[in-house]
């Protein structure tokens, strides 16, 4: 791993057409916020569903209060084993995460924050020297660049140059999320990691939400339906995203809650619509929001069971059902989710493997949690699928595991994958992680 990567501290490229009305809307919204308390949801106060490591706890105590005051993230984007890494923070905001990462990567690492809001860039730059001195570094290892996440090359960020890319509740504010995720893939080295928190919806959010500046600014108007996010990541070439942590998001402002409730419509008047509904709701039957069986008097009982049958039998049997046009109304729910995904050589490993954790990842002497579903105890041999084996073989965690390939082909590679275990709603429910109220002011009350 390279000891340091220096980026050009560039301003926005003259004449760039990157800005859109939604970009300007976000800039205006966040420039007007003086602190986390001004937000109208619990996103920035999401409960942590995994304990903080001692290294992260120490770093947080050293952050300047003014930097922490204007933190608007929805999780904690600090993966393990960062010493010496080159890290990019997409949408760095006040710089809180960058400074935490600065401490974790050490003097041989480097952290760059990029943000399109000039006020936040200028504010975060004020504290570079402060944190250098607090951390006891001879030279600063952090810089902040004014630019767009959708166009990282304009900020001088090269292909295959980064060990880790992080982002904290910002991709939901971008109009073109695929472009952001594609850029992250481009600038990562092979073996590099995208580790980020964001806001997700349990349904596809209506297009009309984009028109409301507060809904968009709070991350709800641009929240991805979580399963669409998984699909985009796979299409771009990332490994299957691993869900690390999750919590429900509560809306404090009653008026905003009414706007955010929304509704979804299903139309089945053409074969194309039928296939789309089947594809989309094949996974919804696994989601805790839709798995409850309606009561006998429920007006949606027939709709529910038709969706169950569609999910089970597929579009080929759709003709068994009469022509129907139906509406399925319900509140749109939101959750914050922290995922990690890796840029791996394609089809590098096809068989399962036996792996043993050595206990050498810093702050993880007893065990290492790759994600919420995969934990490795020290000196305990376990069998893993081909993709997990590839992650442990080709990333910065390779020295921390003994890996022995088996002769058993991974059955997951030849079957349709079900991703219910990657739902942030299911994980939040399992962990009981639901933020009811936080340090909001003048925003109404929650139940």
Which of 304, 330, 356 lies at the terminal end of a domain, its last residue?
Answer: 330
Residue 359: give its domain's CATH number. 3.40.5.100
- Same domain for 251 and 267, yes or no, is no
The tokens of 157 are what?
């960020």
Identify the pLDDT of residue 39: 44
Q: How distant, in Å, are the alpha carbons of 36, 116, 414, 428 from that of 417?
A: 39, 37, 9, 22
- Same domain for 240 and 273, yes or no, is no
Identify the pLDDT of residue 133: 97
- Same domain for 133 and 199, yes or no, is yes
Please tell me the distance from the alpha carbon of residue 34 to that of residue 351, in angstroms, as a whole number.
Answer: 52
Look at residue 376 and tell me if it is in a domain: yes
Look at residue 210 and tell me if it is in a domain: yes
306-313: which pairs have CB atoms within 8 A and are 24 or more residues apart?
A: 307/277, 307/281, 310/274, 310/277, 310/278, 310/281, 310/282, 311/278, 311/281, 311/282, 311/284, 311/285
Look at residue 15 and tell me if it is in a domain: no
CA dihedral 366, 370, 371, 374 (to 10 degrees): -70
Identify the pLDDT of residue 431: 84
Identify the pLDDT of residue 18: 65
pTM recorded for the entire structure: 0.77
Identify the pLDDT of residue 188: 98
Domain total of the chain: 3
Look at residue 81 and tell me if it is in a domain: yes
Please tell me the distance from the alpha carbon of residue 99 to that of residue 92, in angstroms, as a whole number.
Answer: 10
Where are the extended beta strands (E) located within 138-260?
A: 142-146, 162-168, 188-201, 224-225, 242-248
- Same domain for 130 and 195, yes or no, is yes
For the chain (length 447 residues), average pLDDT per consecutive 10? 40 47 53 46 47 91 91 81 98 94 98 93 96 97 96 95 95 94 98 96 89 85 95 96 92 73 43 37 38 41 43 41 41 92 90 97 96 97 96 98 95 80 93 47 29
- Same domain for 271 and 214, yes or no, is no
Identify the pLDDT of residue 322: 41
- Same domain for 367 and 318, yes or no, is no
- Same domain for 148 and 232, yes or no, is yes
- Same domain for 387 and 297, yes or no, is no
Identify the pLDDT of residue 99: 97
Look at residue 12 and tell me if it is in a domain: no
Please tell me the distance from the alpha carbon of residue 404 to that of residue 383, in angstroms, as a whole number.
Answer: 9
Please tell me the distance from the alpha carbon of residue 264 to that of residue 189, in angstroms, as a whole number.
Answer: 40
Domain of 326? 263-330
Q: How many CA atoms, within 13 angstroms, populate the side-chain half-sphere of residue 81?
A: 18
Identify the pLDDT of residue 20: 61
CA dihedral 169, 174, 179, 180 (to 10 degrees): -30
């Amino acid at each position: 791993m390279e000891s340091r990567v220096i980026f050009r501290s560039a301003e926005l490229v003259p004449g760039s057409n990157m800005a859109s009305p939604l970009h300007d809307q976000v800039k205006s919204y966040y420039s007007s916020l003086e602190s986390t308390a001004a937000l109208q949801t619990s996103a920035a106060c999401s409960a942590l569903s995994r304990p903080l490591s001692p290294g992260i706890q120490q770093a947080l105590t050293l952050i300047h209060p003014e930097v922490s005051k204007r933190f608007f993230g929805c999780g904690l984007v600090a993966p393990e084993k960062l010493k010496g890494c080159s890290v990019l923070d997409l949408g760095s905001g006040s710089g809180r995460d960058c400074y935490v990462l600065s401490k974790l990567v050490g003097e041989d690492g480097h952290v760059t924050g990029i943000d399109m809001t000039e006020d936040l860039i200028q504010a975060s730059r004020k504290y570079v020297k402060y944190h250098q001195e607090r951390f006891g570094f001879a030279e600063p290892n952090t810089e902040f660049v004014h630019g767009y996440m959708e166009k990282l090359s304009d900020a001088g960020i090269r292909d295959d140059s980064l060990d880790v890319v992080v982002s904290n509740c910002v991709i939901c504010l971008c109009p073109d999320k695929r472009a952001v995720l594609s850029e992250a893939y481009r600038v990562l080295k092979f073996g590099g990691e995208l580790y980020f928190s964001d806001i997700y919806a349990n349904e596809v959010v209506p297009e009309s939400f984009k028109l409301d500046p507060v809904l968009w600014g709070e991350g709800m108007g641009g929240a991805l339906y979580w399963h669409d996010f998984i699909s985009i990541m796979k299409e771009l070439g990332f490994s299957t995203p691993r869900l690390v942590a999750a919590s429900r998001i509560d809306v404090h402002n009653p008026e905003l809650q009414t706007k955010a409730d929304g509704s979804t419509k299903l139309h089945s008047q053409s074969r194309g619509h039928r296939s789309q509904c089947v594809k989309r709701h094949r996974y919804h039957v696994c989601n805790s929001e839709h798995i409850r069986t309606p009561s006998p008097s429920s007006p949606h009982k027939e709709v529910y069971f038709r969706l169950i049958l569609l999910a089970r039998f597929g579009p080929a049997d759709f003709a068994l059902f009469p022509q129907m046009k139906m509406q399925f109304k319900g509140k749109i729910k939101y959750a914050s989710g922290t995922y990690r995904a890796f840029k791996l050589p394609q089809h590098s490993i096809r068989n399962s493997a036996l792996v043993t954790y050595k206990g050498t990842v810093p702050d993880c002497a007893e065990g290492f949690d790759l994600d919420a579903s995969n934990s490795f105890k020290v000196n305990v041999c376990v069998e893993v699928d081909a993709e997990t084996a590839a992650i442990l073989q080709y990333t910065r965690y390779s020295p921390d595991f003994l890996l022995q390939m088996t002769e058993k082909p991974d059955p997951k590679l030849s079957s349709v994958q079900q991703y219910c275990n990657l739902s942030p709603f299911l994980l939040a429910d399992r962990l009981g992680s639901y933020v009811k109220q936080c340090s909001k002011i003048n925003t109404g009350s929650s139940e």
